[in-house]
Chain A
């Protein structure tokens, strides 16, 4: 079975994307590239990357994109989310960052960004930017296992791949149980529930990306080489 590459947090960096594409071609059997959001950001002009993602080169591993926290901020600011605005970005980085973000993405990409899905379900895996609860949900290896289990249960999947925290880890919930005692008008009953084996995988962000083999469940955390010619691509 073909391996998956999981990437996030490119934030408009086409050089980095080309570097990752180059590395994927050197790997054997990587046929699916999932870009788990944050295609855009406020630091780079994002248009060249967006054009490349929308119209991939023939030799590219074909990308499939979902939206992330940065897309959510931009779409909210541009009126795609009802009354909400880019509140998260404003709070975290101030008004100037909102202006930078608006300047970094041409308006003719907005409809395409708005058409991106919240996540993919592939086999028994959910691929999501944050979590099933929210695109801004930051799951890490330190998040309570109770919360992680809830996020898995909401989607009824065995594995949840998340990108929002920009960390690379694999956390496995592998045993445990809980007693439930219910009393209602009909009487009382007791039951026990066991933990099914489930995992949450942080795929990293930016130069960090992850390869996954669904046939063997093998995960490989990778770091892309620094694209040496990365500078000079900003606002000109």
Chain B
């Protein structure tokens, strides 16, 4: 059966509607959302209400958590200090816009969702703020999936969709104990595991302005990365009208965050 996984909607109503249409037009009935319903974009209430109305199972994203708990997340989530200041502006704007009811809804979202051997998270099983990038150390990536007891891990948060298969892993180990003269040796054979990153519906950063999400066939295991056109200009105008940082509109229309990365690569965690 095909099911769709969406992530990082970021208050971009036009993108969310286009993606839901794309999913509906294929007759796909099961949709799972990996959070970040709000932040950056201009329609936080509209997007939250659409997800509530469609009753789409959703886990809590980093933005959803921060809007509720305040900005207690690690500032390293931002690539630079300038990006951090803009992020803070978007945070305060979003917090002021959201209705109490919608905030309460975000607060109640679970950290993870599970269906059989499929696990759904925003960042990683450890935290909504951890980035599982496609070039992350392969053993550590496998550890995240394996420790969580899953076979396929669906995540978002990086805004770049990918499918990563980790296979034929092994580790040879030698153990020396206190009262033992000769160390013992054994080999750990690691199972094949997959990480599927759903990309971003409302704030894509994969080099194109198209909204992305994934379709997974849970009988064959096949994953399709979908790219969907939507009215980017409409959302960009709404960003500017709302008084949100103009760079968000620029980023949306380009689909990458190169400019922000270049500003201050040396930003270090203050916590």
Q: Does B172 contact A (CB under 8 A)?
A: yes
**With A and B bound together, what is the CA distance between A172 and B173 in angstroms?**
6
Do residues B164 and A153 form an inter-chain contact, with CB atoms below 8 A?
Answer: no
Which of A47-55, A109-117, A140-148, A227-235 touches B? Answer: A140-148
Interface residues on A, range: 20 to 34
Residues in A neighbouring B143, C-beta threshold 8 A: 146-147, 149-150
- Least distance between B130 CB and chain A CB atoms (Å): 11
Do residues A178 and B174 form an inter-chain contact, with CB atoms below 8 A?
Answer: no
Q: Does A193 contact B (CB under 8 A)?
A: yes
Do residues A146 and B139 form an inter-chain contact, with CB atoms below 8 A?
Answer: yes
Residues in A neighbouring B176, C-beta threshold 8 A: 169-172
Q: Does B20 contact A (CB under 8 A)?
A: no
Do residues B162 and A173 form an inter-chain contact, with CB atoms below 8 A?
Answer: no
Do residues B137 and A182 form an inter-chain contact, with CB atoms below 8 A?
Answer: no
- Chain A residues 48-107 with CB under 8 Å of chain B are none
Q: Does B160 contact A (CB under 8 A)?
A: yes
Known: A181-B164, A181-B167. A171 touches B139 (CB 8 A): no
In the complex, per-residue mask of B147-170: 1 if CB is within 8 Å of any chain A CB, else 0 = 100000000000011111111111
Interface centre among A169, A175, A185 (most CB of B within 10 A): A185
Residue ID in chain A nearest B141 by CB atoms: A180
Q: Does B190 contact A (CB under 8 A)?
A: yes
Do residues A153 and B139 form an inter-chain contact, with CB atoms below 8 A?
Answer: yes
Known: A146-B142, A193-B139, A195-B171. A185 touches B164 (CB 8 A): no
Known: A149-B139, A178-B139, A178-B190. A183 touches B162 (CB 8 A): yes
Do residues B142 and A178 form an inter-chain contact, with CB atoms below 8 A?
Answer: yes
**With A and B bound together, what is the CA distance between A191 and B173 in angstroms?**
23
Residues in B neighbouring A171, C-beta threshold 8 A: 173-176
Q: Does A162 contact B (CB under 8 A)?
A: no
In the complex, per-residue mask of B59-72: 1 if CB is within 8 Å of any chain A CB, else 0 = 00000000000000
Q: Does B178 contact A (CB under 8 A)?
A: yes
Would you list 6 pairs from A and B whose C-beta atoms are within 8 A, ordered by A residue? A146-B146, A169-B176, A178-B166, A178-B169, A178-B190, A193-B137
List residues of B whose CB falls within 8 A of some A CB: 134-135, 137-143, 146-147, 160-178, 183, 187-188, 190, 206-208, 212, 223, 225, 227
- 13 more A-B residue pairs beyond the given contacts A149-B139, A176-B169, with a C-beta to C-beta distance below 8 A: A141-B177, A145-B188, A147-B147, A153-B139, A168-B178, A172-B175, A174-B173, A177-B170, A179-B165, A182-B135, A183-B163, A195-B172, A204-B178
